[in-house]
Amino acid sequence: MELTYQKNGDYYIPNIKMDEQPEGMLTKYGILRRDYLKENKKGVYSGLLLSGKLMNHLLEIQETAEQRMELLTEQMSQSQGVNEELKEKEPTKWVQMMNSVRQSAEEMVLTELVYR
């Protein structure tokens, strides 16, 4: 590793620049993971932050959580009989059941991925 310096008055200051960070915005699961690490796993959070891997980690958790949420919602709705036919016949019951499925799926995703 070669360091270069610039003179600033009587002092030499190293020319240090940060590593490139991945592009992407954090959404719900990424933000929840970041906040969880910051509050409950301070050592892990600091280690990831200092090594420049925090954003990669958060984006990976976010993508995995979103994929898992889609898969679980689909599987659980099929197993409970929440389908288009029910949606047409009894829309309020369909909404109730879908809300229940999504809530259960999200609880599983949060437990498995975000809050571990």
Of 81, 89, 87, 30, nearest to 54 by C-alpha is 30
39 pLDDT tier (thresholds 50, 70, 90): very high
Residue 12 φ/ψ region, left for φ over 0, alpha for ψ in the -120 to 50 degree band, beta for the rest = beta
Residue 81, pLDDT score? 93
pLDDT band at 3 (very low <50, low <70, confident <90, very high): confident
- pLDDT at position 62 is 97
28-40 vs 42-51: helix crossing angle, rounded to 10 = 120
Which of 20-29, 43-52, 103-112 is predicted with the least confidence, judged by mean pLDDT? Answer: 20-29
Q: How confident is the model at residue 1 (pLDDT cuts 50, 70, 90)?
A: low
Tell me: the pLDDT tens digits for 50-98? 888 999 999 999 999 999 999 999 999 999 999 999 999 999 999 999 9
Rounded to an integer, the average pLDDT of 39-47 is: 97
Q: Residue 70 has what pLDDT?
A: 97
